[in-house]
Amino acid sequence: MHIHLDADDFSRMPQNLRTQLLDWVFKTKHLQFERVPANLQREIKVPAKQLHIFEIPTQEENAEHSQVRLSQLFDAGITNQGMSVRVKLKREVAKKLQRDYINGLEISVKGTIFYKGEEFDKPSPLAAKINGGAINGWEYIEVKKDDKWVRLEELRKIWRKTNG
């Protein structure tokens, strides 16, 4: 198993979770480590030279893993206000609801999507809310563009090509 966490991931964790995770990692002898950022060295209980848990990502890796927001697609003209949006349902949810998609959503004036009074600028929280658990919204949400349903993942690729 490969888990990639960078300093930003750790900085967003609650202090107690970060401490527990770092303690667990340090006790696991078979893990391979890279480098520990200076701001986290004071939290570890063994010398930083012995633990190398972080990699410095390349520029290409940063672009590949950067957070893209729905409003960025909108600002780039890839999506437009009023475009139809649908969310694919996981198999068990689809079976329960006896349909494959939640339809009737659209791109707002800000490029976001509203669902049940809540505004979403990231697709995964919206897809998770509809499906009742963590899910990749870039793969499960589609926008009707030029009379065809297109996954947000494809639109994100277009955005990355022009903004990478």
Same domain, 87 and 38: no
Domain limits for position 26 = 7-56
Instruction: Look at 7 and 52; give whichever has higher pLDDT.
Output: 7
Number of structural domains in the chain: 2
In a domain? residue 98: yes
Q: Are residues 103 and 46 in the same domain?
A: no
CA distances from 150 to 3, 55, 106, 121, 143 (A): 30, 34, 14, 18, 5
- The verdict on residue 117 lying in a domain is yes
Residue 157 and residue 76 in one domain: yes
Is residue 13 predicted with pLDDT exceeding 70? yes
Residue 1 lies in a domain: no
Domain shared by 83 and 152, yes or no? yes
What is the reported pTM?
Answer: 0.61
> Is the per-residue pLDDT at 122 higher than 80?
yes
Residue 22 lies in a domain: yes
- Check residue 26 and give its pLDDT: 64
Q: How confident is the model at residue 125 (pLDDT cuts 50, 70, 90)?
A: very high
| pLDDT for residue 148 | 96
Residues 93 and 120 in one domain: yes
Residue 109, classed as helix, strand or coil, is coil
How high is the mean pLDDT of the chain?
A: 80
Q: What is the pLDDT of residue 76?
A: 93
Reported as a single tens digit per residue, the pLDDT across 28-58 is 655 544 555 555 555 554 444 444 444 444 4
* DSSP letter string, 12-65: HS-HHHHHHHHHHHHH-TT----B--HHHHTT-SS-GGG---B----HHHHHHH
